Structure 1
Amino acid sequence: MHGAGNDFIVLNGIDQDLSNITQEQWQKLSHRQFGIGADQILLVEKATRPDADFRYRIFNADGGEVEQCGNGSRCFVRFVLDQGLSNKNPLRVEVAHTVLTLLSHPDGQVEVNMGAPIFEHSQIPFNADGLASMQEFHEMLYALPLDRPASHDDWVGVVSMGNPHAVQVVGDVDSAPVLEEGPDIEKHPAFPKRVNAGYMQILNRKEIKLRVFERGAGETLACGTGACAAVVSGIRRGMLDSPVQVHTRGGDLQIAWGGMVNDVAQPVIMTGPAVTVFEGETEI
Structure 2
Amino acid sequence: MRGIMRVPFIKMHGLGNDFVVLDSRNQPLPPVDARKAAALADRRTGIGCDQLVLMENSAIADFRMRIFNPDGSEVGACGNASRAVALLYGQACTIETGGGVIEAQLADAGIAVNMGLPRFDWDIIPLAYAMDTLSMPVGWEELENPVAVNVGNPHVVFFVSDTDAVELDRLGPVIENDPLFPERVNVNVATVTDRGAMRLRVWERGAGLTRACGTGACASAIAAMRRGLVDRSVAVTLPGGTLTIAWGEDGTITMTGPATESFRGDFEWDALA
- Output the TM-score relative to the length of structure 2: 0.90
Query: Relative CO higher for 1 or 2, CA cutoff 8 Å, sep ≥ 6?
Result: 2
Give RMSD over aligned pairs: 1.6
SS in structure 2 at match of 1:143: coil
Q: Which amino acid aligns with 1:280?
A: G
Q: Quote the residue 2:121 is aligned against.
A: 120
* Residues 197 and 234 in structure 2, CA contact (< 8 A), matched pair in contact too: yes
Report matched runs for 1:4-83 at 5 Å: 4-49=15-60, 52-81=61-90
State whether structure 2 residue 178 is matched by structure 1 residue 184.
Answer: no
Q: Do 1:143 and 1:153's aligned partners in 2 also have CA atoms closer than 8 Å? A: no
Local SS of the residue matching 1:188? coil
Aligned-partner Cα distance in 1 for 2:165–2:70:
25
CA, structure 1 residues 100+153, in 2 after alignment: closer, same or farther (shift >3 Å)? closer
Distance 1:18 1:258 in 2: 38
Paired-residue identity, %: 41
CA contact (8 A) 2:188 2:200 kept: yes
Give the letter aligned to residue 13 of structure 2. H
Offset, 1:183: 0.3
Contact 2:212 2:239 in 1 (8 A): yes
2:262 to 277, 280, 283: 277
User: Any stretches of 5+ residues in structure 1 without a counterpart?
Assistant: 82-88, 134-138
Task: Please state if 1:175 is matched with 2:165.
Answer: yes
1:249 aligns with 2:251: no
- Structure with greater proportional strand content: 2
After TM superposition, the score normalised by the length of structure 1 is 0.87
Aligned length: 258
Question: 1:89-147: CA deviations, max 9, x gaps?
Answer: 31011111311110012x46000000010011111111345x7x6xxxxx72113344x
Shift of 1:19: 4.2
Q: Which amino acid aligns with 1:121?
A: W
Write the distance in 2 (CA, Å) between the matches of 1:20 and 1:126: 31
**Amino acid aligned to 2:260:** V
Separation in 2 of the partners of 1:108 and 1:239?
25
**In 1, Cα distance between the equivalents of 2:128 and 2:32?**
33
Question: Could you tell me how far apart the structure 2 residues matched to 1:76 and 1:268 are?
Answer: 18
Give the Cα–Cα distance (whole angstroms) in 1 for the partners of residues 239 and 157 of structure 2. Answer: 17
